[in-house]
Structure 1
Amino acid sequence: MSETQVPWKQTMPTAQFSLMRDILAAPSPVGLEAAMTYGVLKPQFERFAPDGWHLHQFKGNAGVVLDTHPGRDDMFKLMLIGHADKIRMQVRSIGDDGKIWINTDSFLPTVLIGHEVKLFSEDPKQHGQYRCLEGGTVEALGAIHFSDPAMRTGDKGLKKEQIYLDLQIHGENKKQQVENLGVRPGDSIIFDRPIRAGFSPDTFYGAYLDNGLGCFVTAEIARLIAEAGGTEQVRVMFAIASYEEIGRFGSRVLAGELKPDALIGVDVNHDYVAAPGIGDKRMQPLEMGKGFTMSVGSIASEQLNRVIAQAAGEHDIPLQRDIVGVDTGTDGMAGVLASVDCAATSIGFPIRNMHTISETGNTQDVLAAIHALTYTIQALDKIPNLEREFLDNHPRLDNATPLAHQGSDKPEGEKS
C-alpha cells in the first residue's frame, strides 16, 4: 500500500479538519446536546446518507442514530456510539454584589480560574428561546493579595464553593443588573475556547475534545461506508448519544431501543505518558501520536476486539491496547448497562489535559480510528454468518497451547 493510500500517516485535509472543528465548537452542554446533534451532525448525515438509510430521533434526549437498514432486525446489528454532551458549569445563585456563584461539575476548580466562558440563558418571555452571554470570566479569590499564606504556597487549594462568574458588574443594584439579563439558577455555562492547530505537526487543542471527537469519528466512518456502497449483511447504526458525562444514560436508551448485537464506544482516552505525576502508577504507556486505542479487559469482547485488531493489522494501522477491567468508562458499556446481549468494546484516541480548556489531540490518531473501524465494518460484512460466529466462537482457554521460552532476539527492524 502506497503512502498516499494511508490517510492515518498524512496531515488531515483542511476540509475534514474544518468539519471536526465545527462539531467540536457546537455548544452542547449536558442536557442541551441538540446544537451538535441537530445543528451539525444531522445536516452532515443528510448530505451523504443514501436513499433508504434512516435517522432515528428520540423524545427524551437529543440523541440521533443513522441507520443503514432501518427495521431489519433479522440482520446482524452493529452500533457505534460517540457522545455529544460536554461537561458544563451552571449558575447556582446570584450574590448581592453581582457575583454569579456557579457549580463546577466535572472540572477541577483550579483549571477554571481566569477563563472566558459563555452563559446560555432561556428568555423568560419566550420559553424555549435561549440567549448567549459572552464576556465573563471564572474567578475565585479575585487577587493573590486576598489569599491566605497556605494557598499562596500551594499547601491549600480552592474549594468548588468558591468559584464564581464575574461579569464586571458595578454601580447600583448589582444583583438586579444580573437578574435583568435574565440570568437564573440552573443556566448552563461552557468554556469560550476555539479549536486551534497545535505547535507540533498534526496536533490540535482547545476545549471539549471529550467527546466531539468521538462524534466526528462516528460521522466520518458513516460517510466512508456510504461512499463505499454500504453494507450487505451488517445493519450499522451510527449513534450520537447524550448524558454520557452524568452516567451514560443516553447510550443506554439507544442500545435498549435498538438492541445491537455488537457495540463499539468511540471516545477520547488519556495520554498516560504525558500525564504528570502518575509514572509511579505504572500505567499502560498510551501516547498521543502512536495510534488509536482499543479496550482490553474483562468487560470487553475478545471476539469483537479480534476483528478490530486484525483489520488494523492488515492495513498497518497503529493500535494501542488500553487496559480496562469491569468498566470501559465509555459508552462502550451501553449494552451491558441496558441489559442487551451484545458483544461490546471501546476504541479511542489519547489526548492530554482531559476536562480542561486545553485538551490536546493528534489528527493521525483520529484518522487511524476512522479507518480502522471502517475496515472493521467491512470485515464483519464479509463473515458468512455473523450471528453464529459470535454465538459459537467465544475464546476457549481450555484449548490454549503450551508456550516455551522464545529467546532474546528482538523482531527484525525493531530498535534497541
Structure 2
Amino acid sequence: MSSDNNTNAWQAPMPSSQFEFMADVLDSPSPIGFEAAMSYGVIKPEFESFMPKEWGIHQFKGNAGLVFDSHPGRDDLVSVMIVGHADKIRMQVRKIDSDGKVWINTDSFLPTTLIGHEVKVFCQDPEQPGQYKTIEGCTVEALGAIHFSTPGQRSGDQGIKPESIYLELHTHGEDRKKQVEALGLRAGDPILLDRRIKRGVSPDTFYGAYLDNGLGCFSVTEIARILAKEGLDNVRVLYTIATHEEIGRFGSTAVVGELKPDVLIATDVNHDYEAAPGIGAKKMNPLKMGDGFTIGRGSVVSEYLVQALEKVCKEKDIPYQLDFSGRDMGTDGMAAVLAGVDSAAITVGYPIRNMHTASESAHTGDLLASIHGLTELLRHFNSLNDGKGITRDDLCNGHIRLDNA
C-alpha cells in the first residue's frame, strides 16, 4: 500500500488502496475500553500480512493494546517505541426513561456538535448473553425542535447542557421503556458517531469522524510496512497500538512501564490553528493543514530527537512544522514520564480541523510526510556510528548544553 519510491510520496495523492485501509482503521468500533476492534480486528491482521516471521507480538492483560516487536529479546539494541492510540472518545448510555428517551453521557464532545448526528450503539444481545450487537439508525438529540428552545438558546447566548443530550430510537406506542430494554440497552453501553471518512472538496483532503487517533495507528502500520522490507539490523522498533489515551494516556503508560523503551515517539493529531475560528487572541502557533506534519517542542521533549528528526526531513525535503507543547505534550509522548521510565521522548502530529466532532478533516500529504519522516529517522538511527547503529551512550551524551551557546 506504500509506494516503493518514497521520494515525493507526500506530494502525490494517497493511493486508493491505502486510503481505504486508512478508512477501515478509522471506521473500526473502538471506544475507550473496547479498543480490540481496531487493534485485534484491523491492525493485527494487517501486520501479520507483511511482517517477517522473526518479529514478535506483545499482548497485555489489562488492555487491548498491541506491540509488534522487530527484534524480540534483543535487549542489547536501542529500542524505539512508536505509538498511536486506538481508543475513541464515545458517548455512553446513562438512563433509560419511561418515554423511551435514552439519556447519554457526552464524554469529551461539546454537546452542541453532537445534535442530529447518526450514531451506533453497542450492547449485549439479550437473546445471546455475552455476545454484542450493533444498533444503527439512532440520532443524538437535545431539544426536539427549535420551537421548544429558550430565547437564550435561539439567540446563541445560552448553550446546550450535557444533561440535555439523549438518544432518539424512534420508539412509539405503549411501554416504550420496555421496548428499549428489550433491545438490550443498559447503562454504560458505548455509543459512537457513524461517519466513515470521505475524500474532501479540496485536493488531498478528507473528513469524517475519529481521525483522533486512528490516524496514529494507521501511520504506525505504514511505517512498519515500509521498514519490514528493509530489515533494520541495528535498532529495535516497537510498533505500538495503545489504548485509553483520551482519559489520561493510561494504555501507553502501562505498555511503556512493561517494555521500557529507550526512545518514545508519539503520533497523534494536532490542530490547524491558522484556520481555527475565533482564537486569534490566544496567539497560537499558526500550524496549517497541508503544510506538513508537526514536531512538538517542550519541557518533556528530547531536543536531541527534535534535531535528529529535523535533520533527516531537511535532507529529504519532507515538509514539517514546529510546535510548542509547554510542560505536557498532551499525547502518548508523556507515557515514559508518567510510568517513571527513562526514555527520550518526542511527539509528532498532523494538523486537523474540527477535532472531537463528526467532521474532523485533514490532508493526506501531512500524514504521508509524517510516515516518511519517521521512517527516515529510524533509518538514520540504524546507520549511526559507522553503520553500527545508535547506542544508549548517544542518547545519554546527546543532551543540548546551552552553556556552550
Q: TM-score range by the shorter chain?
A: over 0.9
- Given the alignment of the two structures, is residue 86 of structure 1 paired with residue 88 of structure 2, yes or no? yes
Query: Aligned letter for 1:249?
Result: F
Instruction: Show the 5 A alignment for 1:157-306.
Output: 157-227=159-229, 229-306=230-307
Instruction: Decide whether the 8 Å contact of 2:126 with 2:183 is kept in 1.
Output: no
Instruction: Show the 5 A alignment for 1:1-400.
Output: 5-227=7-229, 229-384=230-385, 385-400=390-405
CA shift digits 1:52-110 (9 cap, x unpaired): 10111111110001000011111101000000000000000000000000000000000
Whole-Å separation in 1 of the counterparts to 2:7 and 2:206:
23
Query: Aligned letter for 2:344?
Result: A
State the Cα distance separating 1:4 from its structure 2 match.
7.9
Whole-Å separation in 2 of the counterparts to 1:14 and 1:82:
22
State which drifts further: 118-127 or 366-375. 118-127
Query: Aligned letter for 1:209?
Result: L
Instruction: Decide whether the 8 Å contact of 2:26 with 2:210 is kept in 1.
Output: yes
State the Cα distance separating 1:125 from its structure 2 match.
4.9
Whole-Å separation in 2 of the counterparts to 1:125 and 1:170:
22
Whole-Å separation in 1 of the counterparts to 2:157 and 2:395:
54
Whole-Å separation in 1 of the counterparts to 2:397 and 2:149:
65
1:410 counterpart residue number:
none
Q: 1:72 to 1:128 in 2, by over 3 A?
A: farther
Runs of 4+ in 1 over 4 A off after TM superposition: none
State the Cα distance separating 1:232 from its structure 2 match.
1.3
State the Cα distance separating 1:247 from its structure 2 match.
0.6
State the Cα distance separating 1:307 from its structure 2 match.
1.1
State the Cα distance separating 1:5 from its structure 2 match.
2.9
CA shift digits 1:157-206 (9 cap, x unpaired): 11000000011111010100000111101000000111100000000000
Where 1:324 maps in the other structure, the secondary structure is: strand
CA shift digits 1:364-393 (9 cap, x unpaired): 000000000000000011112421111112
Instruction: Decide whether the 8 Å contact of 2:125 with 2:183 is kept in 1.
Output: no
CA shift digits 1:189-237 (9 cap, x unpaired): 000111100000000000000000000000000010102x221111000
Gaps of 5+ in 2: none
Whole-Å separation in 1 of the counterparts to 2:6 and 2:133:
46
Query: Aligned letter for 1:149?
Result: P
Whole-Å separation in 1 of the counterparts to 2:178 and 2:194:
25
Whole-Å separation in 2 of the counterparts to 1:213 and 1:156:
35
State which drifts further: 248-257 or 119-128. 119-128
State the Cα distance separating 1:123 from its structure 2 match.
2.4
Query: Aligned letter for 1:133?
Result: I
1:412 counterpart residue number:
none
Gaps of 5+ in 1: 401-416
Q: How many percent identity over aligned positions?
A: 60
State the Cα distance separating 1:124 from its structure 2 match.
4.0
Aligned length: 397
Query: Aligned letter for 1:132?
Result: T
Where 2:217 maps in the other structure, the secondary structure is: helix
State the Cα distance separating 1:126 from its structure 2 match.
3.6
Query: Aligned letter for 1:390?
Result: L
Whole-Å separation in 2 of the counterparts to 1:298 and 1:4:
33
Where 1:275 maps in the other structure, the secondary structure is: coil
CA shift digits 1:313-339 (9 cap, x unpaired): 110001100111111000011111111
CA shift digits 1:109-164 (9 cap, x unpaired): 00000111000001245443100001111000101111111111011111000000
TM-score (norm 2): 0.97
Whole-Å separation in 2 of the counterparts to 1:6 and 1:150:
52
State the Cα distance separating 1:24 from its structure 2 match.
0.6
Where 1:263 maps in the other structure, the secondary structure is: strand
CA shift digits 1:273-325 (9 cap, x unpaired): 01111011111010000000001121110011111111111100011001111
